[in-house]
Structure 1
Amino acid sequence: MLRLLLVGEQRMFVEALSQYLCTEPDLWVADSADRADAELVERISRARPEVMVIDLAVLGDRVHEALRRLDESCPPVRIVVLASTASPELAVEAARAGTAAWLPKERGVTELVGIIRDVARGNAWYPPEVLGTVLRALRQDIRLADTRNDDPLAALSQREREVLAAMAEGKRGWQIAAELFISVQTVRKHTRGILTKLNVHSQLEAVMLARSAGSLPEPSGATVRALPRKTV
Structure 2
Amino acid sequence: MFAEALALTLSHQPDLRVVDRCCAGEPDLVTRTAAARPDVVVIDVEPLGSAAAEVVSALLAVQPGVRIVVLTGSRDRAQLVDAVRAGAVGWLTKGCTAADLLAAVRGVCRGEASLSPADLGVVLGALRAEVDPGARRADPLAVLSRQERRVLAELVDGARGAQIAAALGVSTGTVRTHMNKLFGKLGVHSRLEAVRVARTAGMRPRVAADGYPDGRN
Match in the other structure for 2:215: none
In structure 1, distance between residues paired with 2:92 and 2:70: 6
User: 1:156 deviation in Å?
Assistant: 5.6
In the aligned structure 2, how far is the partner of 1:38 from the partner of 1:47?
A: 16
Deviation at 1:57, TM superposition (A): 2.5
Partner amino acid for 1:114? A
| 8 Å CA contact 2:81, 2:122 repeated in 1 | yes
Who is 1:206 aligned against?
Answer: 179
Question: Given the alignment, which residue of 58, 64, 70 partners 1:81?
Answer: 70
Q: Which residue of 2 aligns with 1:115?
A: 104
- Residues 63-102 of structure 1 aligned to structure 2 (within 5 Å): 63-102=52-91
Superposition CA RMSD, Å: 3.8
1: CA distance between counterparts of 2:80 and 2:142? 23
Return the alpha-carbon distance in structure 1 between the equivalents of residues 178 and 115 of structure 2.
31
Q: Secondary structure at the match of 2:42?
A: strand
Deviation at 1:75, TM superposition (A): 1.6
| TM superposition outliers: structure 1 runs of 4+ over 4 Å | 153-157, 167-173, 207-210, 218-224
Tell me by how many angstroms 1:136 deviates: 1.4
Report deviation, 1:104: 0.5
Shift of 1:203: 6.4
Rate the CA distance shift 1:92–1:222 in 2: closer, same or farther, 3 A. closer
Q: Quick check: 2:19–2:36 contact (8 Å CA) kept in 1? A: yes
Cα shift at 1:27:
0.5
**Contact 1:41–1:74 (Cα < 8 Å) also in 2:** no
Q: Which amino acid aligns with 1:98?
A: G
Q: Identify the range of structure 1 (114-123 vs 162-171) with the bigger mean alpha-carbon deviation.
A: 162-171
Letter in structure 1 aligned against 2:156 = A
Residue deviations 1:24-59, cap 9 Å, x none?
A: 110110111124323222211221110000012332
1:89-117 Cα offsets, whole Å, 9 max, x none, are 22111111110100011012211001000
Percent of pairs with identical residues: 34
Q: 1:18 to 1:207 in 2, by over 3 A?
A: closer
**Are the structure 2 counterparts of residues 109 and 98 from structure 1 closer, same or farther at C-alpha, using a change threshold of 3 Å?**
same
- The two structures have a TM-score, normalised by structure 1, of 0.63
Would you say 1:42 and 2:12 are equivalent positions?
A: no
> Which amino acid counterpart does residue 49 of structure 1 have in structure 2?
P
Q: How far does the alpha carbon of each residue in 1:7-35 deviate from its partner, in whole angstroms, 9 at most, with x for none? A: xxxxx121122122111110110111124
**Contact 2:42 2:69 survives alignment (8 Å):** yes
Structure with higher Rg: it is: 1
Aligned residues: 183
The structure with the largest helix share of the pair is: 2
Whether the 8 Å CA contact 1:86–1:130 is kept in 2: the answer is: no
Higher mean alpha-carbon deviation, 121-130 vs 212-221, is at 212-221
C-alpha change, 1:118 and 1:164, in structure 2 (3 Å) is same
Contact 1:207–1:216 (CA under 8 A) maintained in structure 2: no
Secondary structure class of the residue paired with 1:82: strand
Q: Deviations over 1:130-165 (max 9, x none)?
A: 221111112223447xx9xxxxx99569xx597354
- Tell me, in whole angstroms, the C-alpha distance in 2 between the residues paired with 1:57 and 1:222: 29
Match of 1:19 among 8, 31, 35: 8
1:136 aligns with 2:136: no
TM-score w.r.t. length of structure 2: 0.67
